């Protein structure tokens, strides 16, 4: 079987013991890889009721079968475990070069258990792995530790580094993990989980290759797919403007949240914060993940002024919203500075910016005051207080200690009705796409297995008309602010997006390809006989049900599948809001969930998950 190395490192940090494990071949086909296999391992082998920051909660880092091939968009890998932010299933995928290098070193993934007595890092050089002392690295930011470890382990191939910053060390619940400075597992607090294990970094060098099962067919397919991606306009937009290309388009379609999700579109904001401006004023060069023809990553620099930065990774669209539109800040240089601070600290810019915007609103409404903020005045339009809050959150100083718990917990601590201004689902702050403009995204936020999520499905691309998959019933035109038919659309887009994540294929690349192309990628890489679109979608359903079962065991019920009040409040008289009752009713029926939101017994049986039925009762 191609696509897999059939070896997973299993590291007990408490015992400093390194072992090798694997999953059954049939499970590879059933759960594809990435977060699919990680969820299977998690459910089978770990205590789902463990505290997320306890030694019993594993950190599982997995590649997919496509990771490390030279097919387009195959850089990705994922960090999984019980989320310190949400308390349910957590996962966060990442691009860059680490995943491909891990595969080339001969590993499908790494499982970390326990907790190290002192700070450590893992060095993987092909089949040889060792835990090393990281006492001298503790307290360093992600850029520093990356430079140090690359210098320390130079020679031959460049080492690839996956590290936490001070936010992860300090157990900030939305801390992420950074790969080579410019790529992040941002969402769901996997950096805090890593920090709880006193694991500062993973360094990998691999000299192997990732050979496909069907080498001849693979070569031809690769050429065809690269050509398709290069010709796709969304790919061209991403290459020229980065993900922030979405700012101008999103402002038009009411996708962009403004002033903590309370303002209607403001074209002055997008004119100052959009991808064209980023490219014109600050772009030094573009950068790509491993094997990616798109190259959506920006290398930027603010050369002068109060927000001067080093040359480094530029902000994504989401960051331009959270530190731009969400607090009415029009200064893109300030956004870039916030992005650099978050990158260095290892903070998810979505959650961090969202919790800060939430704090701004609480300040405006008198729920918190200067006494609570160490004298900071959190005024809309001003980025400077946000920059200070980033440091306070990172170090858990003052109000930063409260905000570091995430917005849901912060609202509980603030009280005084603060929860009315929250925009999170299951504790995960919503990404920067407004469901009032695109109702299918509302359903996605409500039912996604990691909380409000824009990446576990293809809804963003389909509902906004950037992609279409007629071969699986996803047409090219959906009306955004309509709820009719969206449950069916979302279900299929989820069944397509979930295996995309599990295969560790970049969703931007899939957005330029067809479902059949994706099937071909998996088939030629793995050699799965008779693998087709039907089986692809079935695998998506199976993996989704597996994760939903994990969440059900953790106590997630129908009442948690909801949108916050703010997203159910229209921005204008003529605006409409998602019909959640309709979409949830239809989705539950289509997905085969009971009235409590759990997979029905028959649903699990039909999906080939009979073995986990007993776990849910």
Partner 1 sequence: MAYKFPSEEWIKEYQKAINTSDAYKQSGSTWTAGPVCLVVTANPSIGIEKDVGIWLGLHKGVCEAIKIVSLEEAQKAPFVISGDYSRWKQVVLGELDPVQGMMQGKLKLKGDLPTIVRYVKASQDLVQCASKVDTQFIDE
List 213, 226, 271, 616, residue binding partner 1 (CB under 8 A):
271
Q: What does the alpha-carbon distance between residue 4 and residue 360 come to, in Å, rounded to a whole number?
A: 47
Report, in Å, the least distance between residue 237 CB and partner 1: 6
User: Token pair 């927000």 is at which residue?
Assistant: 307
Tell which one of 252, 413, 576, 596 touches partner 1 (CB under 8 A): 252
**Distance between alpha carbon 33 and the CA centroid of its chain, in Å?**
16
Q: Total number of residues binding partner 1 (CB under 8 A)?
A: 26
Closest CA to 506 of 250, 351, 290: 290
| CA separation for the pair 274, 252 (Å, rounded) | 12
Reading the block at residue 376, the tokens are 């900071």
Examine residue 249 and tell whether it contacts partner 1 (CB under 8 A): yes
Strand partners, 111: 10, 60
CB of residue 236 vs partner 1: minimum separation in angstroms?
Answer: 6
Of 467, 483, 501, 603, which one interacts with partner 1 (CB under 8 A)?
Answer: 467
Residue the block writes with tokens 């260095």: 344
CB of 376 to partner 1, least distance (A): 34
Q: Which stretch binds partner 1 (CB under 8 A): 72-80, 166-174, 227-235, 597-605?
A: 227-235
DSSP-assigned letters across all residues of 192-226: HHHHHTTEEEEEEE-------SSHHHHHHHHHHHH
Asked if 101 and 2 touch (Cβ cutoff 8 Å), the reply is: no
The yes or no reply on residue 248 touching partner 1 (CB under 8 A) is: yes
* 392/466 with CB nearer partner 1: 466
**What are the DSSP E strand ranges found in 401-552?**
424-425, 428-429
Quick check: 230 binds partner 1 (CB under 8 A)?
no
Shortest reach from residue 322's CB to partner 1, in Å: 21
Name the segment binding partner 1 (CB under 8 A); options: 97-105, 133-141, 439-447, 463-471.
463-471
3-state secondary structure of 403: helix
Choices 132-140, 204-212, 228-236, 481-489 (CB under 8 A): range interacting with partner 1: 228-236
The residue length of the chain stands at: 617
- Residue choice 236, 288, 395, 488 for contact with partner 1 (CB under 8 A): 236
Between 237 and 580, whose beta carbon lies closer to partner 1?
237
The order of strands in the sheet holding 297-300 is 283-287, 297-300, 312-313
Q: Is 287 helix (H, G, I), strand (E, B) or coil?
A: strand
Is 234 among the residues that bind partner 1 (CB under 8 A)?
yes
Residues 6+ apart with CB under 8 A from 503: 32, 33, 34, 64, 65, 66, 518, 521, 522
CB of residue 155 to partner 1, shortest distance in Å: 42
Minimum distance from residue 13 beta carbon to partner 1 (Å): 46
Choose, by CB under 8 A, the member of 134, 232, 402, 521 that binds partner 1. Answer: 232
Query: C-alpha distances in angstroms, 44 versus 4, 23, 41, 296?
Result: 20, 11, 5, 37
Per CB under 8 A, which region of 270-278, 486-494, 529-537, 607-615 contacts partner 1? Answer: 270-278
463 binds partner 1 (CB under 8 A): no
Check residue 572 for interaction with partner 1 (CB under 8 A): no
Q: What's the CA gap between 547 and 448, in Å, rounded? A: 10
**241 scored as a contact of partner 1 (CB under 8 A):** yes
User: Taking CB under 8 A as the rule, does residue 295 contact partner 1?
Assistant: no
- The nearer residue to partner 1, 70 or 226, going by C-beta atoms, is 226
**In this chain, which of 65, 165, 274, 385 binds partner 1, going by CB under 8 A?**
274
Strand ranges for 53-134 from DSSP E: 59-63, 77-82, 89-94, 109-113, 120-125, 128-133
**Contact pattern for partner 1 over residues 468 through 487, marking x by CB under 8 A:** x-------xx----------
Among 107, 103, 55, which residue's Cα sits nearest to residue 81?
Answer: 55
Residue 466 touching partner 1 (CB under 8 A): yes
Select from 38, 171, 245, 386 the one that contacts partner 1 (CB under 8 A). 245
267 counts as binding partner 1 under rule CB under 8 A: yes
Rg (the chain; Cα; Å): 22
Residue 414 tokens read as 């603030």
**Per rule CB under 8 A, is residue 233 in the interface with partner 1?**
yes
Say whether residue 74 binds partner 1 (CB under 8 A): no
Nearer to partner 1, 269 or 447 (CB): 269
Stretch that binds partner 1, among 245-253, 330-338, 360-368, 408-416 (CB under 8 A): 245-253
Q: 208 or 465, CB closer to partner 1?
A: 465
Using rule CB under 8 A, residue 237 touches partner 1: yes
Strand order in the sheet with 8-12: 17-21, 8-12, 109-113, 59-63, 77-82, 89-94
37, 159, 201, 279: residue in contact with partner 1 (rule CB under 8 A): 279
Name the burial class of residue 610, with classes exposed (0-12), middle (13-18) and buried (19+) by CB atoms within 10 angstroms of its CB.
exposed
Q: Which of 398, 465, 527, 608 binds partner 1 (CB under 8 A)?
A: 465
Kindly give the interhelix angle for 34-45 and 533-553, rounded to the nearest 10 degrees.
40
Is 435 near partner 1 (CB under 8 A)?
A: no
Q: Does position 443 bind partner 1 by CB under 8 A?
A: no
Binding of residue 53 to partner 1 (CB under 8 A) = no
Q: Does 240 bind partner 1 (CB under 8 A)?
A: yes
Strand pairing of 109-113 and 8-12?
A: parallel
Choosing from 52, 58, 191, 275, the residue that interacts with partner 1 (CB under 8 A) is 275
Minimum Å gap between C-beta 225 and partner 1 is 15
Hunting for tokens 């925009």 — which residue is that? 423
Q: Which residues bind partner 1 (CB under 8 A)?
A: 231-234, 236-237, 240-241, 245, 248-249, 251-252, 267, 271, 274-276, 279, 464-468, 476-477
């Amino acid at each position: 079987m191609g696509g897999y190395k059939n070896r997973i490192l299993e590291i007990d940090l408490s015992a400093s013991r390194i072992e090798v494990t694997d999953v059954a071949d049939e499970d590879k086909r059933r759960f594809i890889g990435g977060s699919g296999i990680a969820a299977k391992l998690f459910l089978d082998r770990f205590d789902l009721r463990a505290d997320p920051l306890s030694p019993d909660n594993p950190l599982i880092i997995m590649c997919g079968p496509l990771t490390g091939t030279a097919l387009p968009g195959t850089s990705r890998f994922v960090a999984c475990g019980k989320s310190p932010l949400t308390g349910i299933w957590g996962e966060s995928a990442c691009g860059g070069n680490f995943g491909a290098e891990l595969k080339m070193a001969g590993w499908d993934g790494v499982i970390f258990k326990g907790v190290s007595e002192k700070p450590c890092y893992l060095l993987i050089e092909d089949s040889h792995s060792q835990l090393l002392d990281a006492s001298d690295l503790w307290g360093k930011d992600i850029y520093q530790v990356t430079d140090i470890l690359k210098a320390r382990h130079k020679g031959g191939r460049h080492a690839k580094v996956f590290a936490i910053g001070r936010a992860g060390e300090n157990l900030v619940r939305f801390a992420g993990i950074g790969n080579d400075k410019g790529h992040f597992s941002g969402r769901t607090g996997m950096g805090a989980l890593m920090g709880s294990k006193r694991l500062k970094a993973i360094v990998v060098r691999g000299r192997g290759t990732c050979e496909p099962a069907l080498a001849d067919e693979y070569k031809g397919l690769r050429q065809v797919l690269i050509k398709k991606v290069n010709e796709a306009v969304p790919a061209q937009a991403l290459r020229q403007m980065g993900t922030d290309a979405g700012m101008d388009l999103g402002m038009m379609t009411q996708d962009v949240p403004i002033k903590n999700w309370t303002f209607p579109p403001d074209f002055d904001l997008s004119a100052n914060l959009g991808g064209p401006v980023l490219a014109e004023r600050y772009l030094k060069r573009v950068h790509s993940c491993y094997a990616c023809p798109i190259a959506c990553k920006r290398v930027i620099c603010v050369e002068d002024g109060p927000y001067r930065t080093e040359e480094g990774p530029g902000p994504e669209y989401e960051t331009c919203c959270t530190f731009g539109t969400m607090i009415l800040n029009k200064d893109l240089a300030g956004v870039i500075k916030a992005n650099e601070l978050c990158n260095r600290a290892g903070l998810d810019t979505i959650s961090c910016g969202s919790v800060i915007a939430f704090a701004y609103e609480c300040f405006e409404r008198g729920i918190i005051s200067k006494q609570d903020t160490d004298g900071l005045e959190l005024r809309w339009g001003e980025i400077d207080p946000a920059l200070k809050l980033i440091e306070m959150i990172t170090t858990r100083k003052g109000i930063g200690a409260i905000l570091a718990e995430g917005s849901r917990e912060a609202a509980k601590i603030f009280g005084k009705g603060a929860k009315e201004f929250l925009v999170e689902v299951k504790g995960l702050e919503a990404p920067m796409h407004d469901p009032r403009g695109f109702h299918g995204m509302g359903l996605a936020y409500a039912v996604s297995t990691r909380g409000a999520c824009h990446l576990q499905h293809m809804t963003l691309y389909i509902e906004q008309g950037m992609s279409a998959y007629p071969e699986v019933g996803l047409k090219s035109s959906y009306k955004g602010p309509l709820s009719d038919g969206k449950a069916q659309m979302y279900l299929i887009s989820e069944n397509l997006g979930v295996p995309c994540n599990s295969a560790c294929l970049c969703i931007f690349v899939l957005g330029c390809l067809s479902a059949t192309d994706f099937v071909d990628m998996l088939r030629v890489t793995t050699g799965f006989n008779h693998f087709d679109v039907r089986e692809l979608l079935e695998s998506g359903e199976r993996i989704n049900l597996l994760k939903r079962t994990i969440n059900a065991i953790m106590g997630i019920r129908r009442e948690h599948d909801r949108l916050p009040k703010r997203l159910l409040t229209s921005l204008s008289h003529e605006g409409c809001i998602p019909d959640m009752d309709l979409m949830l009713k239809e989705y539950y029926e289509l997905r085969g969930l009971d009235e409590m939101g759990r997979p029905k017994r028959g649903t699990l049986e039909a999906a080939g998950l009979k073995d986990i039925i007993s776990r849910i009762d």
